[in-house]
A and B are shown apart, each in its own frame.
Chain A
Amino acid sequence: MNRARILLAIATAGLATPAFAASDITTVMGPGGVTLRSVTVDLPQSDREFPGADAAAINNNCLTCHSAGMVLRQPPFPREKWAEIVNKMIQTYKAPIDAGDVPAIVDYLAKR
């Protein structure tokens, strides 16, 4: 599946690892009592999928880069506008969407 392939690419590219190796020193201090402390957080992930029987294409292709919430909050747009947005995701943001899935994704978005 497309998603699985991308997630593997992310993992092998090392993006899931910290940008800087952890050390034992957890604070840096400066004059005037300014102290910066190392931070580790867990960012929440979303398990929300696009709803509906016709959502397979959008779920398989679009959740790699972003969760569904913002898309589902968009105002209604005509099909041509959605086609333009999906095309921008592919051309500009390099979304690895299978060309054969594009019509189904655009249809889904235009029908909402």
Chain B
Amino acid sequence: MDQSHRVPMIGRRGFIAGAAALGALHHPTGALGAMARDADEAVFTTAFPQKGRMILQRTRPPLLETPFEVFDQGVYTPNDRFFVRWHWAGIPEQVDVATFTLTVHGHVDRPLTLGLGELLAMPRIEYAAVNQCSGNSRSLFSPRVGGAQWRHGAMGNARWVGVPLKAVLDRAGVKAGAVAIRARGLDEPVVPDAPAFAKSLAIDHARDGEVMIAFQMNGEQLPLLNGFPLRLVVPGWYSTYWVKMLSDIEVLAAPDDQYWTKMAYRIPDTPHASVAPGQAGYAQVPINRMVPRSFITNLVDGAQVAAGKPLALRGLAFGGDQGVAKVEVSADGGGTWRQAQLAQDEGRYSFRQWHLAAPGPTAGPVRLMARCTNTAGETQPLEANWNPNGFMRNVVETTTLTAA
């Protein structure tokens, strides 16, 4: 890999990124030797267009992960650090804004072909929303599962500006009996007869007025790898529905029977989408709304801190498909919890920053945990879920430090 370089991992939960900047970090003796497998090394790249330094999970089609230290730098994830995930390698390398069109067809009165100028002229909506891959943090599943071995960086938060999907559907005139919309982008499979990526949403969800056809992200046009020029934004739902390079919307009069909705991205229909490894015969449903998560962002696994000195902690939380009601932090492995101070509310679907001054730890290992409860009263579980696809992790994460 001539365009990237390797950085050894400290362990599976965190990594030494920008070690010089985080002077407190400390290599536990022997850990690097024990963790020498490819899966436990982060490979960084700056080779991708419109992207800064990213963790390279795969070159083609690209899987790029946001380095964790980015999440400590603010509540919004910069466009050039926002994670990237494509299913097929047939990604256009050129998008011409003058000729690009979005087609709306199927079970409608007036099939439409809209240019970007027409879309920009329509009334807009704007909000902040977290975009998170269904398999974010998959590498932490135990027993481990196949798929992109993301750590926590297959997520990001941005301010999105665009047109409500409802307004576009209304313009086409959805016919009675419509049950869903199926969205497609410009990306194509690279082998004949393979299933092109497309995802569907129930018609009422598509017309809720919040689902957005976005053309701006953090005040700029989207990077090509994040879906330029148009991307579906489905706030509170996993990223698989946020179709990139959105070019085609089909209104369906019958449930979507294509592969990507019918067969892929399915979860056990159980609490926390959790089953026992090896279990079979359970019902499955398409993955859907997100669940609450929280992260300590200013300290990572293996950090060394001063015993007896108050710990200034900060992090990010999000409520899934609801706002953040509270974030609690434990410095004793879950024995006692203190409520963190929430920073400015950027909206129901946004990351929310939090701060806490924890009492100085006694010498020895310190197990820090952060736990988010959303405004619907849903709290992160203390036990990790498990399913064969590595979807929907939201266990309370633990950061282990050493106080000396």
Question: Residues of A with Cβ closer than 8 Å to B?
Answer: 6, 9-10, 13, 15, 18-23, 25-32, 34-46, 48, 64-67, 69-70, 72-75, 77, 81, 85, 92-96
Contact = CB atoms under 8 A, between A and B. Distances in A.
A36 B148 CA distance: 32
Contacts of B93: 18, 40-43
A81 B57 contact: no
What 10 pairs across the A-B complex have the smallest Cβ distances? A30-B120, A41-B49, A46-B59, A25-B98, A75-B144, A70-B58, A94-B194, A18-B94, A67-B59, A20-B99
Nearest to B49: A41
Interface string B29-42: 00000000011000
A88 B157 CA distance: 33
Contacts of B91: 43
A28 B60 contact: no
Contacts of A29: 117, 120
B284 to A, nearest CB: 16
A27 B97 contact: yes
Given A13-B192, A44-B47, A73 B149 contact: yes
29 contacts: A15-B190, A18-B94, A19-B186, A23-B96, A25-B98, A26-B96, A27-B97, A29-B120, A30-B120, A36-B97, A36-B229, A38-B95, A39-B224, A43-B62, A44-B3, A44-B60, A46-B59, A48-B1, A48-B59, A64-B190, A66-B61, A66-B89, A67-B58, A69-B1, A69-B56, A69-B58, A74-B146, A93-B194, A94-B191
A92 B59 contact: no
A18 B92 contact: yes
B90 interface: yes
A77 B97 CA distance: 45
B146 A6 contact: no
A101 B47 CA distance: 33
Contacts of A70: 57-58, 63, 148-149
B333 to A, nearest CB: 27
Nearest to B186: A19
B contact patch SS: loop
**Most chain A beta-carbon contacts within 10 A, residue among B50, B119, B190:** B190
Contacts of A72: 38
Contacts of A48: 1, 59
Contact of A45 (B60, B115, B188): B60
A74 B57 CA distance: 10
B273 interface: no
Interface string B171-214: 00000000000000010111111110000000000000000000
A80 B396 CA distance: 33
A45 B190 CA distance: 14
Given A26-B98, A28-B97, A30-B121, 8 more contacts: A20-B101, A34-B216, A41-B94, A65-B88, A75-B146, A92-B263, A93-B189, A94-B194
A91 to B, nearest CB: 11
Interface of B: 1, 3, 38-39, 43, 45, 47-50, 56-63, 88-101, 115-117, 119-121, 124, 144-146, 148-149, 161, 186, 188-195, 215-216, 221, 224, 228-229, 247, 259, 263
A92 B48 contact: no
Nearest to A77: B146
Given A13-B192, A20-B96, A93-B195, A67 B60 contact: yes
Given A41-B49, A44-B59, A23 B99 contact: yes
A49 to B, nearest CB: 12
Contacts of A21: 96, 99
B98 A23 contact: yes
B59 A69 contact: yes
B160 to A, nearest CB: 13
Given A29-B120, A93-B191, A95-B191, A38 B146 contact: no
A95 B192 CA distance: 9
Contacts of A74: 39, 146, 149
Nearest to A71: B58
B215 A36 contact: yes
A93 to B, nearest CB: 5
A46 B38 contact: no
A33 to B, nearest CB: 10
Residue among B88, B99, B144, B149 with max Cβ neighbours from chain A (10 Å): B99
Nearest to A35: B221
Contacts of A9: 191-192
A34 B120 contact: yes
Contacts of B98: 23, 25-26, 28, 38
B62 A92 contact: no
Contacts of A31: 120-121
A112 to B, nearest CB: 9
